[in-house]
């Protein structure tokens, strides 16, 4: 039996409160599809009973699990390859020159999902930038999903995952077989700092980053939440830093202090004075 409108509205409100993610009434099917496996793990017979549990107990952990379950975790290695080509050809060489004295580059991969993005960044830096061997390269990978963060920490990917965007030469150079899967080299895995972070909640302990990847996550938020997230991101971005958002995302109409810049056909955003 399909979810009642009252159940859908309750779940939509819960997800919005937990993550800022806007679920439309037309996406009710997504709630039932994503929450059925979760209901089974909690002992509920179906999603209806799961909703009843949520309404009666206000279990914080269960609320977080529901929000995680409906979060989209689509990603792949070197997703939108032109972005990484832009990094290699223009941005990283500029940062190397600019940061030559301190020999450090800080990069934040927000909404990192299962880790393909931060590991793609690291492989690019290792493969393209031999002069960075004695530099401090800090990659912060954050996500709201504990399951995705655990996968990022492990750095183990299936055959299907490595076949989506990962060049064969990089697979051979930076991975080794782990049963039927592939394990990224420990030296790369240990270079990624993995942390749970809800973009819609207050952030703590954030450094200043030369590059921020916040791709394909803003599309799930309303205008107010987008503006708030980007305004706070501005405070973590170096004054001459770079921010990448998804190709279907924009800062237009948000009133946030960024300037759109195109580098060899690749769009990025640079912070401006508030």
Q: What is the pLDDT of residues 171-224, one digit of tens each?
A: 999 999 999 999 999 999 999 999 999 999 888 878 999 999 999 999 888 999
pTM of the model: 0.84
d(C-alpha 209, C-alpha 218), whole Å: 19
218-222, Cβ contacts within 8 angstroms, sequence gap of 24 or more: 218/245, 218/246, 218/249, 219/246, 219/248, 219/249, 220/19, 220/20, 220/21, 220/22, 220/72, 221/20, 221/21, 221/22, 222/20, 222/22
Q: What's the mean pLDDT in 151-179? A: 96
Cα radius of gyration rounded to whole Å, the chain: 20
Higher model confidence: residue 90 or residue 70?
90
> What pLDDT is attached to residue 60?
82
58 phi/psi in degrees, rounded to 5:
55, 40
- On average, the pLDDT of the chain sits at 91
Phi first, then psi: give them for residue 188, nearest 5 degrees.
Answer: -75, -45
Q: How confident is the model at residue 8 (pLDDT cuts 50, 70, 90)?
A: confident
* Mean pLDDT confidence for 11-25: 81
Residue 15 has pLDDT above 70, yes or no: yes
| Res. 16 pLDDT band, cuts 50 70 90 | confident
pLDDT value at position 211?
98
**Per-residue pLDDT, 12:** 84
What mean pLDDT comes out for the span 38-43? Answer: 84
Whether residue 257 has pLDDT greater than 80: yes
What share of the chain in percent tops pLDDT 70?
99
Label each residue of the chain as H, E or C. Answer: CCCCHHHHHHHHHHHHHHHCCCCCHHHHHHHHHHHHHHHHHCCCCCHHHHHHHHHHHCCHHHHHHHHHHCCCCCCCCCCCHHHHHHHHHHHHHHHHHHCCCCCEEEEEECCCCCCHHHHHHHHHHHHHCHHHCCCEEEEEEEECCHHHHHHHHHCEECHHHHCCCCCHHHHHHHEEEECCEEEECHHHHCCEEEEECCCCCCCCCCCCEEEEEECCCHHHCCHHHHHHHHHHHHHHEEEEEEEEECCCCCCCCCCCCEEEEEECCEEEEEECCC
Query: What tokens were used for 95?
Result: 């940062």
Residue 1 is predicted with a pLDDT of 63
Residue 32 confidence (pLDDT) above 70:
yes
For the chain, what's the residue count? 274
């Amino acid at each position: 039996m399909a979810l009642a409108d009252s159940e859908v509205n309750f779940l939509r409100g819960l997800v919005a409160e937990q993550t800022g993610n806007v679920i439309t009434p037309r996406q009710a099917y997504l709630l039932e599809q994503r929450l059925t496996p979760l209901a089974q793990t909690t002992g509920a017979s179906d999603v209806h009973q799961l909703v009843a549990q949520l309404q009666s107990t206000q279990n914080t952990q269960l609320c977080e699990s529901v929000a995680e379950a409906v979060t989209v975790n689509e990603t792949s290695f070197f997703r939108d390859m032109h972005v990484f080509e832009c990094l290699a050809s223009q941005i990283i060489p500029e940062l190397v020159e600019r940061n030559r004295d301190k020999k450090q580059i800080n990069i934040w991969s927000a909404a990192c999902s299962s880790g393909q993005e931060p590991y793609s960044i690291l492989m690019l830096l290792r493969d393209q930038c031999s002069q960075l061997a004695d530099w401090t390269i800090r990659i912060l990978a954050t996500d709201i999903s504990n399951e995705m963060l655990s996968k990022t920490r492990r750095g183990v990917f299936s055959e299907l995952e490595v076949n989506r965007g990962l060049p064969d030469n990089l697979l051979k150079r930076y991975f080794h077989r782990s049963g039927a899967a592939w394990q990224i080299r420990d030296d790369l895995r240990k270079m990624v700092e993995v942390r749970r972070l809800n973009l819609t909640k207050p952030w703590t302990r954030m450094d200043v980053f030369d590059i921020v990847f916040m791709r394909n996550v803003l599309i799930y938020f309303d205008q107010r939440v987008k503006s708030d997230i980007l305004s706070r991101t501005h405070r973590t971005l170096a004054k001459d830093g770079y921010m990448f958002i998804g190709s279907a995302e924009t800062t237009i109409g948000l009133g946030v202090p960024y300037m759109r810049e195109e580098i060899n056909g690749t769009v990025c955003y640079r912070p401006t004075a508030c």
